[in-house]
Amino acid sequence: MSLEILNLPPIVLQQLFKDSLVDLKNNERPPSRTKRNEYATLGNNEKEILILISSEEALYLPDDQLNFLVGILSACGLTMNDVAILNTKKNTAVTYDLINQELKSKTILLFGVTVEEIQLPITFPDYQVQKFNNQVYLTAPILSQLQSDKAEKSKLWSSLKQIFSI
33 domain residue, yes or no:
no
71 domain residue, yes or no:
yes
Q: Which residues pair with 41 in a beta bridge?
A: 86
> What pTM value is reported for the model?
0.75
Phi, psi of 135 (to 5 degrees): -130, 160
Cβ-contact 47, 108 below 8 angstroms: no
Quote the domain boundaries for residue 156.
41-164
Number of separate domains in the chain: 1
Question: How far, in Å, CA of 25 to CA of 137, rounded?
Answer: 54
2 domain residue, yes or no:
no
Per-residue pLDDT of the chain (166 residues; tens, 9 = 90+): 566 777 777 777 667 766 665 656 655 555 444 444 477 889 999 999 999 998 888 888 888 999 999 999 999 999 999 999 999 988 878 888 888 888 889 999 999 999 999 999 999 999 999 999 999 999 999 999 999 999 999 999 999 999 998 8
Cβ-contact 105, 45 below 8 angstroms: yes
- CA 149, chain centre distance (Å): 29
Task: Tell me the Cα Rg of the chain.
Answer: 27
Which CATH number characterizes residue 64's domain? 3.40.470.10
Residue 102's CB is within 10 A of a number of other CB atoms, namely 18
